[in-house]
C-alpha cells in the first residue's frame, strides 16, 4: 500500500493512516491478511518517505503514533497483520545522526571509486561543506548511506525494530536489503557496492530478535539480485522479493522458467513470493496487459494460484492502469519518474473522495465502487480467487504438459490453467477462450 495515494481521511490531498483505517473493512472483505505500508516515518520527502528523518515516529502528513497504534489494533481485530517498510540502507540527510553521529556514515577524503547513484547514474559521492569530505549515497544526495560495518549502527537498528515489534508491528519489508554492506576498501565496480555475503548476518540477528515475539514478525527483503543469487537471502529472510518475474513479459516461455527455478531452488521451508506491481514499477494492468482487462486477470490468476505468498499492489484488484502525469506534475527524483504507478486509488466513479490530490487522478473508469457492485468485475474475480487459494494452501506446484501459449500446472489435486494467447486453446478436452483461466 502506497499510503500517500491510498485514501485521504482529512481532505488535504494526501492519503493518511486514518484513510487506511477507514478501508480495513474493505480489505477484510477482499480477503487481505497482511498490509505492507510504504514508509510512514517523518521525512523531508526527497524520495517520498524513503529518506527517513526519525525511525521512531510517524510522518505528520500521515498522522501520529496514536493513529498508527489504532491502525495496528483495528487491523489485528480483523485478522490483518500490519507490516512497516524499514529503510536501513540510508537515512535522510536531515536525520540528526548525520550531524551528531557522522561516524555512522560512509566517508572519503576524495571521490574514491566509480560507484554511481541508482537514480541519476552520476557519481554516488557528494561533497559535504561541513565535514569537508565526500559521503556515499546510492540513491539521491539527500539519502546518505549508513556504514553497516559499524557496531553502533547495528545497535541502533536493533533498538528500532524492537520498538516497532513491541507496538505490534507484525512484519518488516526491508528496503534495498541486498545493499547494506559495501566493500570496506571502497574498490571500483558496482559489484563491490552491493550483494555481499556479510549482509546476511544482519538479518540472521534480526531473526533472533523477531523470534522473541509471538507470533514471530515476518522479514521480507527487497532483494534486487539475479535469480541465481537470490536463494541465499532466503536463508535468513522469510520472504525475498525477486524482480525477474516483474521484468519478464507476460508470456508462458518467459514466466514459467522463473517459477520452475524458484520452486527448485528456494530453501524448502520458505514460501515463494509473487507480485506484478509496486510503487517502483509500472502497474501490471499497464505493463503486462496494456490495459486489456482479460490479460490483467490472467496475470492476477497466476499471482494468486501459484504456490506461495502473493503481494497485490493497491489497485491491482481492479486492474488499475498507470496514471497519466503531465511533466509539470512530476514529483519523483528517479529517472524515469515513478509517478504514474503512484497516482491516487480511485474509490468511486466520480473520484470526489480525492480533493486536489498530490498527484492527478484522471481516469476513474476502473474504481472500487462500480466493481464492488458487479459480480463480473475484476474485483469480484480477485476476491473469489483469494477465497479459492485458501483451499490450495501449500499444495505443491507441478508443471503439466500443455499446448503452446497455455500454462497448466497442478497444485496438489487441483489443476490450474491459463490460456496466455489471443487464440482459442484446449486443455484436457476443455475449451479456453483467449486469456481465459480455470481451476478444476
Ligand atoms: C527501494 C524503494 C524505492 C526507493 C529506494 C530507495 O527501491 O522501493 O521506492 O526509492 O529503495 O530507498
Kindly state whether residue 15 falls inside one of the protein's structural domains.
yes
Q: Which residue is catalytic, options 47, 175, 322, 341?
A: 175
**CA dist., res. 82 & res. 10, Å (int):** 22
**CA dist., res. 134 & res. 108, Å (int):** 5
Q: How far is CA 276 from the centre of its chain?
A: 10
- Confirm or reject: Cβ of 50 under 6 Å from ligand 1: yes
Kindly state whether residue 140 falls inside one of the protein's structural domains.
no
What's the structural domain count of the chain?
Answer: 1
Q: In the structure grid, which three cell numbers stand for residue 236, read together?
A: 535468513
- Tell me, what CATH number does 14's domain have? 3.20.20.80
**CA dist., res. 375 & res. 378, Å (int):** 9
Mean pLDDT of 99-104: 98
**pLDDT tens per residue, range 137-191:** 999 999 999 999 999 999 999 999 999 999 999 999 999 999 999 999 999 999 9
Mean pLDDT of 385-408: 96
To test ligand 1's pocket by mutation, which of 176, 220, 221 has the most ligand atoms within 8 angstroms of CB? 176
To test ligand 1's pocket by mutation, which of 46, 136, 175 has the most ligand atoms within 8 angstroms of CB? 175
**pLDDT tens per residue, range 266-318:** 998 899 999 999 999 999 999 999 999 999 999 999 999 999 999 999 999 99
**CA dist., res. 97 & res. 212, Å (int):** 28
- Confirm or reject: Cβ of 139 under 6 Å from ligand 1: yes
Kindly state whether residue 402 falls inside one of the protein's structural domains.
no
- Verify whether residue 175 is a known catalytic residue: yes
The Cβ of residue 362 has, within 10 Å, a number of other Cβ atoms equal to 14
Mean pLDDT of 43-68: 98
Q: What is the pLDDT of residue 14?
A: 98
Mean pLDDT of 393-418: 97
pLDDT-derived band at 327, boundaries 50, 70, 90: very high
Q: What is the pLDDT of residue 421?
A: 98
- Verify whether residue 353 is a known catalytic residue: no
**Residue 189: DSSP 8-state:** S
Cβ-contact 108, 125 below 8 angstroms: yes
Mean pLDDT of 386-396: 95
Mean pLDDT of 191-200: 96
Helices 378-392 and 293-305 pack at an angle, to 10 degrees, of 20
Kindly state whether residue 245 falls inside one of the protein's structural domains.
yes
Mean pLDDT of 425-430: 95
Q: What is the pLDDT of residue 268?
A: 86
Kindly state whether residue 241 falls inside one of the protein's structural domains.
yes
To test ligand 1's pocket by mutation, which of 40, 47, 93, 341 has the most ligand atoms within 8 angstroms of CB? 47
Which positions ≥6 away from 12 have C-beta within 8 Å?
A: none
Q: Taking Cα atoms as reference points, which of 227, 314, 320 lies closest to residue 273?
A: 227
176 CA to centre of ligand 1 in angstroms? 7
413 CA to centre of ligand 1 in angstroms? 40
Q: Which residue is catalytic, options 145, 147, 222, 353?
A: 222
**CA dist., res. 21 & res. 334, Å (int):** 30
**Residue 243: DSSP 8-state:** S
Q: Taking Cα atoms as reference points, which of 240, 222, 137 lies closest to residue 175?
A: 222
Kindly state whether residue 215 falls inside one of the protein's structural domains.
yes
417 CA to centre of ligand 1 in angstroms? 35
Helix or strand run (H / E) with residue 384: helix 378-392
Helix or strand run (H / E) with residue 303: helix 293-305
The parent domain of residue 265 ranges over 3-88+151-395
The verdict on pTM exceeding 0.85 is yes
334 CA to centre of ligand 1 in angstroms? 10
Percent of the chain with pLDDT over 70: 100
Which positions ≥6 away from 212 have C-beta within 8 Å?
A: none
Kindly state whether residue 240 falls inside one of the protein's structural domains.
yes
**pLDDT tens per residue, range 113-131:** 999 999 989 999 999 999 9
Cβ-contact 246, 239 below 8 angstroms: no
Kindly state whether residue 142 falls inside one of the protein's structural domains.
no
Write down how long the chain is: 440
- Confirm or reject: Cβ of 87 under 6 Å from ligand 1: yes
Amino acid at each position: 500500500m502506497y499510503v500517500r495515494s491510498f485514501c485521504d481521511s482529512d481532505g488535504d490531498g494526501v492519503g493518511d493512516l486514518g484513510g487506511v483505517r477507514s478501508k480495513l473493512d474493505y480489505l477484510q472483505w477482499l480477503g487481505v491478511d497482511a498490509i505492507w505500508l510504504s514508509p510512514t516515518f517523518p521525512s523531508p520527502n526527497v524520495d517520498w518517505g524513503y529518506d527517513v528523518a526519525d525511525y521512531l515516529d510517524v510522518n505528520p502528513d500521515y498522522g501520529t503514533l496514536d493513529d498508527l497504534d489504532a491502525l495496528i489494533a483495528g487491523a489485528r481485530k480483523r485478522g490483518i497483520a500490519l507490516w512497516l517498510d524499514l529503510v536501513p540502507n540510508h537515512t535522510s540527510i536531515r536525520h540528526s545522526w548525520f550531524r551528531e553521529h557522522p561516524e555512522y556514515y560512509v566517508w572519503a577524503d576524495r571521490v574514491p571509486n566509480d560507484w554511481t547513484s541508482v537514480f541519476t547514474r552520476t557519481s554516488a559521492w557528494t561533497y559535504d561543506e561541513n565535514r569537508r569530505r565526500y559521503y556515499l549515497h546510492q540513491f539521491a544526495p539527500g539519502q546518505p548511506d549508513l556504514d553497516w560495518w559499524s557496531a553502533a549502527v547495528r545497535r541502533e537498528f536493533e533498538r528500532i525494530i524492537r520498538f516497532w515489534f513491541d507496538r505490534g508491528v507484525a512484519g518488516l519489508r526491508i528496503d534495498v536489503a541486498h545493499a547494506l554492506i559495501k566493500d570496506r576498501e571502497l574498490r571500483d565496480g558496482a559489484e563491490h557496492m552491493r550483494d555481499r555475503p556479510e549482509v546476511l548476518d544482519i538479518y540472521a540477528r534480526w531473526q533472533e530478535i523477531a523470534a522473541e515475539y509471538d507470533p514471530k514478525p515476518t522479514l521480507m527483503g527487497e532483494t534486487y539480485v539475479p535469480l541465481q543469487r537470490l536463494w541465499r537471502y532466503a536463508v535468513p529472510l522469510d520472504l525475498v522479493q525477486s524482480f525477474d518475474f516483474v521484468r519478464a513479459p507476460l508470456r508462458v516461455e518467459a514466466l514459467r522458467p522463473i517459477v520452475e527455478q524458484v520452486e527448485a531452488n528456494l530453501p524448502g521451508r520458505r514460501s515463494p513470493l509473487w507480485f506484478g506491481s509496486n510503487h517502483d514499477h509500472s502497474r501490471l494492468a499497464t505493463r503486462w496487459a496494456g490495459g486489456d482487462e482479460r490479460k490483467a486477470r490472467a496475470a492476477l490468476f497466476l499471482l494468486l494460484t501459484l504456490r506461495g505468498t502473493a503481494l497485490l499492489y493497491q489497485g491491482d484488484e481492479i486492474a488499475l492502469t498507470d496514471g497519466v502525469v503531465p511533466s509539470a506534475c512530476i514529483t519523483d527524483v528517479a529517472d524515469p519518474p515513478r509517478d504514474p504507478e503512484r497516482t491516487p486509488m480511485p474509490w468511486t466513479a466520480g473520484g470526489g473522495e480525492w480533493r486536489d490530490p498530490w498527484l492527478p487522478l484522471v481516469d476513474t473508469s476502473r474504481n472500487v465502487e462500480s466493481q464492488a457492485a458487479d459480480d463480473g468485475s475484476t474485483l469480484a474475480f480477485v476476491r473469489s480467487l483469494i477465497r479459492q487459494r485458501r483451499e490450495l494452501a501449500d499444495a505443491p506446484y507441478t508443471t503439466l504438459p500443455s499446448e503452446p501459449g497455455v500454462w497448466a500446472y497442478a497444485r496438489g489435486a487441483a489443476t490450474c490453467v491459463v490460456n496466455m494467447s489471443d487464440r482459442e486453446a484446449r486443455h484436457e478436452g476443455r475449451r479456453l477462450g483467449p486469456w481465459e483461466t480455470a481451476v478444476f
